[in-house]
Chain A
Amino acid sequence: KAGVTQTPRYLIKTRGQQVTLSCSPISGHRSVSWYQQTPGQGLQFLFEYFSETQRNKGNFPGRFSGRQFSNSRSEMNVSTLELGDSALYLCASSPGGNSYGYTFGSGTRLTVV
């Protein structure tokens, strides 16, 4: 079965712009989680969506938001981009109950200039 698909793979944006990243989970998986990976901070949890509802949220400013659609596909949006938002954004899907069934996507590398 197809894995977790993230689009686009690479993105270059200018400070102040906004960006939307997309994640298509494994078929049948209802939970989608987002992580930010940077050399300095490592992997940090952004938020998790389950059945179109945000179930958990990490410690990120309100500029970071997301949503999930009825087909479980998820998008995350970052508004008013800052240089420090440059990172690899990873999406992980799982059947839903807990972290044990996590499957990660390849990520979207966002560069803010």
Chain B
Amino acid sequence: AQRVTQPEKLLSVFKGAPVELKCNYSYSGSPELFWYVQYSRQRLQLLLRHISRESIKGFTADLNKGETSFHLKKPFAQEEDSAMYYCALPFMNNNAGNMLTFGGGTRLMVKP
């Protein structure tokens, strides 16, 4: 069964410090992976996805198939980055469809 693991429930850093939110997955094929973010009192929203290889709000994530990881990084954290972050992997089965397996989430707190 596929699984997504985010080992840290809470990550606290100071403003301006680098940030790395860890995500490991278990899936034998070539996965597509996403990072979702949930700011306080806001809805869950897509931050970035592996296939597009883009940088959103200064965040990047690289897929490492050897380590089965998709860590989210930002070189200089800002206070407005404080939020809950979820790593997600689409269900890979024979059915077409929209289903995601989410990690447990990491709460990022950026202190002034």
Q: List residues of B whose CB falls within 8 A of some A CB.
A: 32, 34, 43-46, 49, 51, 86, 88, 90-91, 95-105
**B105 is contacted by which of A42, A55, A106 (Cβ under 8 Å)?**
A42
Q: Collect the chain A residues with CB atoms within 8 Å of residue B100's CB.
A: 43, 45, 99, 102
Contact A31 B44 (CB under 8 A): no
Total A-B Cβ pairs within 8 A: 63
6 contacts between A and B (CB under 8 A): A35-B102, A56-B99, A98-B90, A98-B97, A99-B90, A100-B49
**A106 is contacted by which of B43, B49, B103 (Cβ under 8 Å)?**
B43
Residues 29-41 of A, flagged 1 when their CB comes within 8 A of B and 0 if not, give 0010101000000
Task: Give CA–CA (A55, B93) in the complex, Å.
Answer: 12
Chain A interface residue count: which class?
20 to 34
CB distance from A58 to the nearest CB of B (A): 8
CB nearest to B101 among chain A residues? A45
CB nearest to A56 among chain B residues? B97
Contact A104 B44 (CB under 8 A): yes
CB distance from B55 to the nearest CB of A (A): 18
Contact B45 A92 (CB under 8 A): no
Task: Give CA–CA (A106, B90) in the complex, Å.
Answer: 21
Q: Collect the chain B residues with CB atoms within 8 Å of residue A48's CB.
A: 97-99
Contact B46 A102 (CB under 8 A): yes
Contact A99 B98 (CB under 8 A): yes
Contact B43 A98 (CB under 8 A): no
Q: Collect the chain B residues with CB atoms within 8 Å of residue A90's CB.
A: 44
